[in-house]
Structure 1
Amino acid sequence: MTSPETAPEPAVPAAAGERTTSRDVARAAGVSQATVSLVLGGKWRGRVSERTADAVRAAARELGYRPNLAARSLRLGRTRTALLVVPALTNEFFARVYAGASGVAGENGFGVVLYPSPEGVGPARDPFGSARSTLDGVIASSMAAGALAEMRGGGLPLVMLDSDPAGADVAATVNPDIADGMRQVMDHLLGLGHRRFLHLAAAVDTWTFHVRARTLAETARSVPGTEVRTEPAALEVHAGRRAVERALAGPGPRPTAIVCDGDVLAAGACKALRRLGLRVPEDVSVTGFDDLALATAVEPELTTVRLPAEEVGERGMAALLAVLDGRPAPGAALPVELVVRDSTGPAR
């Protein structure tokens, strides 16, 4: 393999009507055509140095080289298209997941079709009538593997994001560390002296919300004298508001902290507290989850858990590409971060 340190020929764009070839790129970068194929096909890691890959990409850009994806697809028997299924487009998290996935896909000559399931997290219909013949794989965020059975056609590789890692017939799973995020929330509030909690729980039957509820309960049980009440709510601001008003109207002492399964619910909780004449955080602390743009749009700004949505999408697409190439997909949980803002304070 030719070293990139050898002096490459100056990159000269093809004349009008001529197509730049991989041989032109190889000559300009001072490498072999095989190296060009590896780099532009996204299979260079571990086989070609970073410096060589940069040289090949730079030469391709200067020459205006575009690989013949149609010919490559026919040769590989692939469409070079992945389907990303999400429960809804109304949540900013899924838009950021798509941005991450499509970025990695574009670097590797793939396209990503975004499909918000009309059934939310329920069984998703095949949007193409026969997804198996038009796709190379499916990526699904925050859903159950069984919900994708129809569109997979029984054979397409499936990568799950923010979903049960024990799901059956799943090629790979990419998850933010949801449990650690909830532990960070509870440790923060317990450290501020809070012992009476209201858990404003998303009324959505998915793995990610089950993990939040289970971890909250486990962490609370580890500290004597801690009480947790749970109030379910749809993932909407007004549903969160109504749920908090309902919970605070009930018997028993008022909670000193409300732990919400999402920033949208937290915004509803803050709205309910204001309507009841209570201050955040002086009377009641409130936490969110996700760190959406909404978290800094409300007043006071929300203490919340920042999820690496773009990285989830990037890792998900990279995992699908690895599966298609017969390589192992990484499975480590992605770290999350508690962002402390003004909606939490010491318990009264």
Structure 2
Amino acid sequence: MSRRVTIADVATLAGVHPGTVSRALNLKTQDQVNIETAGRVRAAAKQLGYTPNSIARGLRTSSSMTIGVIIPDLTNPIFPPIVRGIDSYLAPRGYSPVVVNTDGSDATERLLFDSLVQRQVDGFIFATGHAGPSIAGEAYKRGIHAVMVNRDSRGVPYPAVVGDDAQGIRESLEHLAALGHRRLVHLAGPSTFSTSQVRAEAFAAGCRELGLDGAIVPTSAYSVDEGQRAMDEVLASSAGRPTAIVAGNDLLALGVYHSLRRHGLRCPDDVSVVGFNDMPFAGDFQPAMTTVRTPHFQLGSESARILLDQIDDSGSTPVRLVLPVELIVRASTGPVR
């Protein structure tokens, strides 16, 4: 069995001290080594096939070199890009994400959180923001490093990285108003999620400011089935049919598509539809979906960056980073007939 290549082997080949190898191959300390020496070290490491021993490093630093990432629903297309963004920042720095899926269950989230704490992860990235009591609140009280991503937990002073949801809703309303729409409905996500609250509040405020007749219909999940159920309810209402729907996310909007077809209505001829998130393949729907594009990969990478900064400097001030979003206009919106 071949022997594992060590830092000492790399140092011998590069003609430097083992400590220099350690600094040159660590992104946090590589600036302490001059460019020529660092290049020689990297060439030696590549020639020997050296890979850093994260376990040994963890023992030196009292760190597991792992980060717990708690996701509410991995089948939701927005979360894989977020996880990819997280990993893109962690991996080059020797950290590994441990991704778990709660399926939207508070009980499952509790079990997974406890399991990851027992594994001694160095911190958490929570994508499961709740408006009420949450695991994030408990983690904060226990002094655990964490960052919220995509959603935040109101009242828990953790750093958060989110998209500018309010601006996305505002741009959607301005777009529809310019097309002549005045009677709109917002299909809101679950009321316990911060994203649902922000988007619903922005819809109500935008309708007031633009002089639009807007109604909000709650849903119990960000899902296609809930979108169809809610739209069936809207169409059965005596309040009359709206000319446009602003959905809380693309899955709800896709459910609206199904409901319209079921009732013999056409999009956008009879009802225009706007989604939120610009999930993969939204442009391939029939019709291609007008939606708000959120930079999910960047949400993930920025949340990982802020978490590692927090781990390195426990006294750092929590930040709330709001990334810009963009309305992508496609074929699901059109002028009022």
TM-score, normalized by the shorter chain, greater than 0.5: yes
SS at match of 1:65: coil
Which residue of structure 1 lines up, in the alignment, with residue 88 of structure 2?
103
Question: For 1:116-127, what aligned pairs fall within 5 Å after superposition?
Answer: 116-120=101-105, 124-127=109-112
Conservation of the 8 A alpha-carbon contact between 2:54 and 2:94? yes
Whether 1:189 aligns to 2:176 is yes
Provide structure 1 residue ranges, at least 5 long, that are not aligned to the other structure.
Answer: 1-15
Which residue of structure 1 lines up, in the alignment, with residue 216 of structure 2?
230
Alpha-carbon distance change, 98 to 126 in structure 1, aligned in 2, over 3 angstroms? same
Which residue of structure 1 lines up, in the alignment, with residue 46 of structure 2?
61
Question: For 1:141-180, what aligned pairs fall within 5 Å after superposition?
Answer: 141-144=127-130, 146-148=134-136, 154-164=142-152, 167-170=155-158, 172-180=159-167
CA drift at 1:169: 4.3
CA drift at 1:168: 2.1
Pick aligned residue for 1:340 from 321, 329, 333: 329
Which residue of structure 2 lines up, in the alignment, with residue 239 of structure 1?
226
SS at match of 1:112: strand
Give deviations 1:173-198, integer Å, cap 9, x for gaps. Answer: 11121112112211211121211101
Conservation of the 8 A alpha-carbon contact between 2:7 and 2:18? no
SS at match of 1:89: coil
Conservation of the 8 A alpha-carbon contact between 1:87 and 1:119? yes
TM score, norm. by length of structure 1: 0.83
SS at match of 2:276: coil
CA drift at 1:143: 1.5
Query: Aligned partners of 2:35, 2:175: CA distance in 1, in Å?
Result: 41
- Read off the aligned partner of 1:100 and give its amino acid letter: G
SS at match of 2:322: coil
Query: Aligned partners of 1:24, 1:156: CA distance in 2, in Å?
Result: 36
Pick aligned residue for 1:73 from 58, 73, 85: 58
RMSD: 3.0
Alpha-carbon distance change, 178 to 52 in structure 1, aligned in 2, over 3 angstroms? farther
CA drift at 1:124: 2.5
Give deviations 1:252-283, integer Å, cap 9, x for gaps. Answer: 34211100001111111111112222211112
Conservation of the 8 A alpha-carbon contact between 1:174 and 1:316? yes
Give the total of aligned pairs. 330
Higher mean C-alpha deviation, range 185-194 or range 136-145 = 136-145
Query: Aligned partners of 1:49, 1:279: CA distance in 2, in Å?
Result: 65
Whether 1:279 aligns to 2:266 is yes
CA drift at 1:291: 1.1
Provide structure 2 residue ranges, at least 5 long, that are not aligned to the other structure.
Answer: none
Query: Aligned partners of 1:43, 1:148: CA distance in 2, in Å?
Result: 28
Query: Aligned partners of 1:260, 1:51: CA distance in 2, in Å?
Result: 55
Which residue of structure 2 lines up, in the alignment, with residue 11 of structure 1?
none
- Read off the aligned partner of 2:148 and give its amino acid letter: M
Alpha-carbon distance change, 119 to 247 in structure 1, aligned in 2, over 3 angstroms? closer
SS at match of 2:109: coil
Pick aligned residue for 1:198 from 182, 185, 193: 185
Query: Aligned partners of 1:52, 1:266: CA distance in 2, in Å?
Result: 56
Pick aligned residue for 2:283 from 287, 296, 307: 296
Alpha-carbon distance change, 43 to 242 in structure 1, aligned in 2, over 3 angstroms? same
SS at match of 1:300: coil
Query: Aligned partners of 1:265, 1:240: CA distance in 2, in Å?
Result: 4
Query: Aligned partners of 2:319, 2:41: CA distance in 1, in Å?
Result: 26
Query: Aligned partners of 1:51, 1:249: CA distance in 2, in Å?
Result: 72
SS at match of 1:134: coil
Conservation of the 8 A alpha-carbon contact between 1:132 and 1:155? no
Query: Aligned partners of 1:277, 1:73: CA distance in 2, in Å?
Result: 61
SS at match of 2:218: strand
Query: Aligned partners of 1:164, 1:39: CA distance in 2, in Å?
Result: 37
CA drift at 1:295: 1.4
Higher mean C-alpha deviation, range 321-330 or range 42-51 = 42-51
Conservation of the 8 A alpha-carbon contact between 2:129 and 2:153? no
Conservation of the 8 A alpha-carbon contact between 1:176 and 1:333? yes
Conservation of the 8 A alpha-carbon contact between 1:264 and 1:294? no
Which residue of structure 2 lines up, in the alignment, with residue 5 of structure 1?
none
Conservation of the 8 A alpha-carbon contact between 2:231 and 2:256? yes
Query: Aligned partners of 1:26, 1:336: CA distance in 2, in Å?
Result: 51
Query: Aligned partners of 1:178, 1:50: CA distance in 2, in Å?
Result: 43
Pick aligned residue for 2:301 from 314, 331, 340: 314
TM score, norm. by length of structure 2: 0.86
CA drift at 1:161: 0.9
Q: Could you say which structure has the higher helix fraction?
A: 2
